[in-house]
Amino acid sequence: MDLHPALPISAFAKDKADLYFINAQTILSADRRDPVVTMEIFPNRSGILCGMREVRGLLTNVLPDHGEVFALGEGESMSGHEIVLRITAPYQSFGLYETAILGILAHESGWATAARECIDAACGIPIISFGARHVHPEVSARMEYAAIVGGCVGCATPAGAELSGVTPTGTIPHAFILIYGDTVEAMRIFDRVMPSHVKRIALVDTFKDEVEESLRVAEALGERLWGVRLDTPSERGRVTPDLVKEVRARLDQARYRHVKIVVSGGVDVERICRFREEGAPVDAFGVGSAISSAQPIDFTGDLKEVEGHPVAKRGRIPGRTENPRLHQIDLKTFRWGEG
């Protein structure tokens, strides 16, 4: 996967670190003490590791040349308590950034894991991330990037798409259709104005019955219509497997077999499984809060060596925890602006 560079080092300013790391840095500097340490980082549960590329970029910019980093790769599966990152370097070079490192891995791995759960449930049916509206805009691109790492084929915002190396996905909102007062009229304007490479996907639940709107739009756009999106609100019972089957049957009977069906609106693992179990012919799902509201995966950083001597807090085993899956990262080959 061709992934773009992570955030610049300024994004991890000193005031975003936990205060006790700042205190430790201040005292160690005053005491002129900067031992070479080994820190190991692990998750509290299994999932899909994400955020490692951003962490690599951070470490590249703060560690000295003799620093060493071993890690699992972006998008790899991980087990609970498995060591996913090991850093060996002078403590003052990276200790201040423990908050940022753990936070990056926690949220991005949580999002990627939720996306992978949806992907696995869909069994090959493509999934697009629609969750940017459910998170703060400062992190929405990271959420969509994580969804792509987890297996989504696309995402809704240009920022998330650029970070992920994909093309953003989307057509028109209900507001646009309401402004024009008719779904067919709105799609005709869309078809006339938008470049040909943008898929013509009609949102068909705004005014009329979804089956009726699908047929009307298919008749108006013909072969240019790529698909219809069913986004029936909860007030109307949401999209059901039977509705998808009916739309598919009526489109086929009217010789619009080329028109695909996209389902969105409250889609999660349970609903994806239901669509599959009932044989609903869904061509793609749009998933929002099932990914964006995923619980972060907690990560912990432990010092395991100080100047080569094994150490550990009570309850942990001193010294390095071997993990043959780790591979060494060559930090010299990675700089901001390079991918």
Let me know whether 282 and 197 are in one domain: yes
Let me know whether 288 and 305 are in one domain: no
Question: Which residues are CB-neighbours of 320 under 8 A, at least 6 positions away?
Answer: 38, 40, 86, 304, 305, 310
Tokens, residue 331: 């930090």
pLDDT of res. 331: 80
Would you tell me how many other CB atoms lie within 10 Å of the CB of residue 114? 28
CA dist 105 → 76, 146, 222, 244, 281 (Å): 13, 10, 46, 38, 36
Let me know whether 94 and 237 are in one domain: no
Q: Is residue 2 part of a domain?
A: no
Tokens, residue 271: 């609903």
Let me know whether 91 and 127 are in one domain: no
- Give the structural domain span for 266: 122-292
pLDDT of res. 14: 72
- Concatenated DSSP letters of 192-243: HHS-TTS-EEEE--SSS-HHHHHHHHHHHHGGGEEEEEE---GGGT---HHH
pLDDT of res. 269: 98
Which single residue is written with the structure tokens 């773009």? 4
Let me know whether 127 and 105 are in one domain: no
Let me know whether 75 and 193 are in one domain: no
pLDDT of res. 334: 55
CATH number at residue 151: 3.20.20.70
pLDDT of res. 332: 74
pLDDT of res. 15: 81
Task: Report the DSSP beta bridge partners of residue 230.
Answer: 263
Instruction: Per residue of the chain (339 residues), give pLDDT as tens.
Output: 334 344 455 556 678 899 999 999 999 999 999 999 999 999 999 999 999 999 999 999 999 989 999 999 999 999 999 999 999 999 999 999 999 999 999 999 999 999 999 999 999 999 999 999 999 999 999 999 999 999 999 999 999 999 999 999 999 999 999 999 999 999 999 999 999 999 999 999 999 999 999 999 999 999 999 999 999 998 998 999 999 999 999 999 999 999 999 999 999 999 999 999 999 999 999 999 999 999 999 999 999 999 999 999 999 999 999 999 999 998 877 543 333
